[in-house]
Amino acid sequence: MSAKFQTTKTPAEATALVKRRALAEGFHKVGVAPATALAGEGARLAEWLRRGHHGEMSWMERDPAQRADPRLVFPAARSVVVCLLNYHTPHAHTGDSASGKVSRYAWGDDYHDVVGGKLKNLLAWVREEWPGADGKVCCDIQPLMDKAWAERAGLGWQGKHTNLITRDLGSWVFIGSLLLDLELDYSDAARRVEDHCGSCTLCIEACPTQAITEPYVVDSRRCISYATIELRAPELPPAVAENLDGWLYGCDVCQDVCPWNRFEQPTDEARFEPRGGETSISLAEISELTPDAYAARFRRSAVKRAKLAGLQRNARALVEGGRPE
């Protein structure tokens, strides 16, 4: 512990308290790692960027060093507390050809609000428990390699589709981290989960656009999720538009086929239930949305990330031939 903290708790005792509180806030798994640079992961990110796999996500090129070293995000950081929140709900897409499928992560309320809110509550508790302590909430928006940190904290491994996989919840989990200037017990990092993908290649074989170009490498430029959410071009790339398989926003194919998701469990977070019971959205409704109606329709929903023009472009591509036969 830093000298400014007046406490008699050992790092192990402090860690147990932080974990207990994180679980009380509603998180489903918690791990801790020292806030040091991710050398290997940083090198792999640099190579991925060099190969142009990030597509038009130019923001990923900014300050790559920050993504590998949490101390460049929060200079006082000594510990990274990584929290996972299960978002799986036992529903299915409608299968209606007049509707477009929405990725499971966007069925309910925006995860930035849900996960971020829980992390803010956890940080507020830390500040009360250790007067003078401080930290920084990181929930996707901050330049932190969330999946790499979850792996480092012993919570799971990055599968061949590059999503984090856990042995008890599968891959349907959101990741949030709390950078703290407390020294904690880092035995979680010493018990890192080994890769259990083995010889399985189901995710690679099932990808509609062959975006998983090799195990553990996704080329965003080929990815349906990237194209339907992040890409701002007026039209979808032909290779994507012709293989949408009914997806309006995002894509879950690589997770749907993953054998580890046989361990999926319904979340107890009610805010992840499908808004209005919708797992798919009418293409006609999307095509007719006005800016005001769009803002009201997707307020506090992750779907707003695609922007109105993007959603209508996606709907148009589905109507023009992106539906499966």
Whether the CB-CB separation of 81 and 184 falls below 8 Å is answered with: yes
For 263, the token pair is: 């361990």
CA angle 169, 141, 65 (to 5 degrees): 100
- Please give the chain's pLDDT, 325 residues, in tens: 444 555 678 999 999 999 999 999 999 999 999 999 998 888 999 999 999 999 999 888 887 788 889 999 999 999 999 999 999 999 999 988 899 999 999 999 999 999 999 999 999 999 999 999 999 999 988 889 999 999 999 999 999 999 999 999 999 999 999 999 999 999 999 999 999 999 999 999 999 999 999 999 999 999 999 999 999 999 999 999 999 999 999 999 999 999 999 999 999 999 999 999 999 999 999 999 999 999 999 999 999 999 999 999 999 999 998 554 4
The verdict on residue 195 lying in a domain is no
Domain count, the chain: 2
Q: How far apart are CA 148 and CA 39, in angstroms?
A: 11
How, if at all, do strands 247-249 and 173-180 pair? unpaired
Query: Can you give the CATH number for the domain in which 142 is found?
Result: 3.40.109
The verdict on residue 196 lying in a domain is no
One domain, residues 62 and 207: no
Point out the domain boundary residue: 135, 170, 190.
Answer: 190
One domain, residues 185 and 206: no
Q: How far apart are CA 112 and CA 87, in angstroms?
A: 12
The answer for residues whose C-beta is within 8 angstroms of residue 325's C-beta and 6 or more apart is: none
C-alpha torsion sign, points 47, 50, 54, 58: positive
Residues serving a catalytic function are 140
Residue 128 buriedness (CB in 10 A; 0-12 / 13-18 / 19+)? exposed
Provide the terminal-to-terminal Cα distance of the chain, rounded to the nearest Å. Answer: 61
One domain, residues 170 and 298: no
The verdict on residue 315 lying in a domain is yes
The verdict on residue 267 lying in a domain is yes
One domain, residues 133 and 210: no
pTM of the model: 0.94
One domain, residues 135 and 158: yes
The verdict on residue 269 lying in a domain is yes
The verdict on residue 6 lying in a domain is no
One domain, residues 22 and 129: yes
Whether the CB-CB separation of 287 and 320 falls below 8 Å is answered with: no
How, if at all, do strands 29-34 and 135-138 pair? unpaired
Q: Which domain holds residue 224?
A: 202-322
Q: How far apart are CA 225 and CA 215, in angstroms?
A: 18
Q: How far apart are CA 170 and CA 103, in angstroms?
A: 16
One domain, residues 180 and 227: no
Q: How far apart are CA 5 and CA 1, in angstroms?
A: 7
One domain, residues 214 and 77: no
One domain, residues 79 and 170: yes
The verdict on residue 85 lying in a domain is yes
One domain, residues 80 and 137: yes
Residue 177: strand pairing partners: 82, 138
Q: How far apart are CA 272 and CA 134, in angstroms?
A: 30
